[in-house]
């Protein structure tokens, strides 16, 4: 079968398995392991604080987002870009270097999160 030539056949209307490329009704793949379902930002409340770190440094902390239901890695990446600072994730906490409270707050609000603190 050449691809692209016969777009719109009945075969294409049914969703296909991404792994075996069968239509889902014919797919025999085992179920996907815990496919993440993210909670939308507007249903989550981030709690912000600025905390002291070693050697007189401070960090802006984002808590309250469920790590299993939020894409914290993507969020941190976005925050680092928006705020222009480094950052890390430990457990369920995002930590952005420096006192970035207002910038982090604005960035989170812009993404749709509710923010406290
Ligand atoms: Zn499959």
In a 10 Å sphere around its CB, with 0-12 CB exposed, 13-18 middle and 19+ buried, how is residue 104 labelled? buried
Domain architecture of the chain: domains with CATH: 1-33 (no CATH), 41-116 (3.30.780.10)
pLDDT in tens, 37-96: 788 899 999 999 999 988 999 999 999 998 888 889 999 999 999 999 999 998 889 999
| Alpha carbon of 33 to ligand 1 centroid (Å) | 13
End-to-end CA distance of the chain: 59
| Alpha carbon of 40 to ligand 1 centroid (Å) | 28
Q: Are strands 45-52 and 114-116 parallel, antiparallel or unpaired?
A: parallel
> Which whole number is the average pLDDT over 90-104?
94
pLDDT in tens, 9-46: 555 578 888 889 888 889 988 876 666 678 889 999 99
| Alpha carbon of 21 to ligand 1 centroid (Å) | 6
The count of other CB atoms within 10 Å of the CB of residue 76 is 18
> Which whole number is the average pLDDT over 103-111?
95
């Amino acid at each position: 079968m050449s691809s692209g030539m016969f777009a719109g056949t009945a075969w294409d209307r049914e969703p296909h398995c991404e792994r075996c490329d069968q239509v889902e009704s014919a797919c025999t793949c085992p179920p996907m392991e815990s496919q993440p379902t993210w909670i939308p930002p507007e249903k989550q409340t981030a709690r912000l604080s600025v905390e002291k770190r070693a050697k007189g440094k401070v960090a802006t902390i984002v808590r309250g987002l469920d790590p299993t239901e939020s894409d914290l890695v993507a969020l941190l990446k976005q925050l680092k870009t928006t705020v222009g600072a480094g950052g890390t994730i430990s457990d369920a906490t995002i930590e952005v270097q420096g006192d970035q409270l207002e910038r982090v707050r604005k960035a989170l609000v812009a993404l749709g999160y509710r923010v406290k603190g």
